[in-house]
């Protein structure tokens, strides 16, 4: 039996990243796509250098190959979560850099498949269903401390990913983060 992995996404500060990990978060998501939670490449670089013991995941959307190459060279991210369409082999590029590829569509080459709602980061639930895939499955989209245990018990994902579900007034809330992690990890897969 293994614990469900928890990713807290949209973290913008070293203090919150450290606090979330201290409460049991396994991964911290750094959003480099357009969003109110966006961090710059320089901020991502600083965070991954300042906190090398934390497994950061860069969240990108429709990123060009040159920009992804720059991100991989400049930061110590553990993995890349790619949203949108790609005109190049982003998974191959991520693997070549020795990082993990988190695909938001079923792709046999991905290390992890993350299924999210139609508008990632908006906190909207969707018709959660478990696809038949061989890779670890992470779920996101509308998760909160109030529903994560039910989702984990029902669909048995390897991981869960949350952003707006652990915020108050658009800012990460450590009380909600702690409650989310506790509820998610109640069940062993």
pTM of the model: 0.91
Average pLDDT of 163-176? 96
Span 70-79, average pLDDT: 98
What residue ranges define each of the domains in the chain, with the CATH number in brackets? Answer: 5-184 (3.20.20.70)
Contact 74, 45 (CB under 8 A): yes
pLDDT value of position 132: 64
CB contact burial 31-52 (16+ within 10 A = b; e otherwise): bbbebebebeeebbbebbeebe
Q: What is the pLDDT of residues 119-162, one digit of tens each?
A: 555 455 555 555 667 789 999 989 999 999 999 998 889 999 99
Look at residue 74 in the predicted model and tell me its pLDDT: 97
Supply the angle between the helices 14-22 and 41-50 in degrees, to the nearest 10.
50
- Within 8 A by CB and 6+ apart from 103, the residues are 82, 91, 109, 110, 112, 113, 114
Q: Phi-psi category of 148—alpha, beta or left, where left has phi over 0 and alpha has psi -120 to 50?
A: alpha
Q: Which two tokens stand for residue 140?
A: 């996101």
How many whole angstroms separate alpha carbon 105 and alpha carbon 91? Answer: 12
Residue with more model confidence, 61 or 120? 61
pLDDT at 67: 97
| pLDDT of residue 109 exceeding 70 | yes
pLDDT of residue 127: 56
d(C-alpha 144, C-alpha 54), whole Å: 22
Q: Are strands 100-103 and 79-83 parallel, antiparallel or unpaired?
A: parallel
């Amino acid at each position: 039996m293994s614990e469900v992995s928890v990713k807290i996404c949209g973290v913008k500060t070293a203090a919150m990243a450290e606090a979330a990990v201290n409460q049991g978060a396994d991964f911290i998501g750094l959003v480099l796509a357009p969003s109110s939670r966006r961090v710059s490449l320089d901020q991502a670089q600083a965070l991954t250098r300042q906190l090398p013991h934390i497994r950061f995941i860069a969240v990108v959307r429709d990123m060009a190959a040159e920009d992804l190459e720059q991100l991989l060279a400049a930061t110590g991210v553990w993995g890349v979560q790619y949203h949108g369409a790609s005109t190049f082999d982003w998974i191959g590029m991520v693997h070549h850099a020795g990082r993990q590829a988190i695909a938001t569509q079923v792709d046999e080459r991905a290390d992890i498949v993350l299924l999210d709602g139609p508008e990632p980061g908006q906190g909207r639930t969707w018709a959660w269903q478990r696809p038949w895939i061989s890779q670890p499955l992470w779920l996101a989209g509308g998760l909160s401390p109030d529903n994560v245990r039910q989702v984990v018990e029902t669909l048995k994902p390897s991981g869960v990913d949350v952003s707006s579900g652990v915020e108050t007034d658009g800012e990460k809330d450590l009380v909600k983060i702690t409650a989310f992690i506790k509820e998610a990890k109640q069940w062993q897969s």
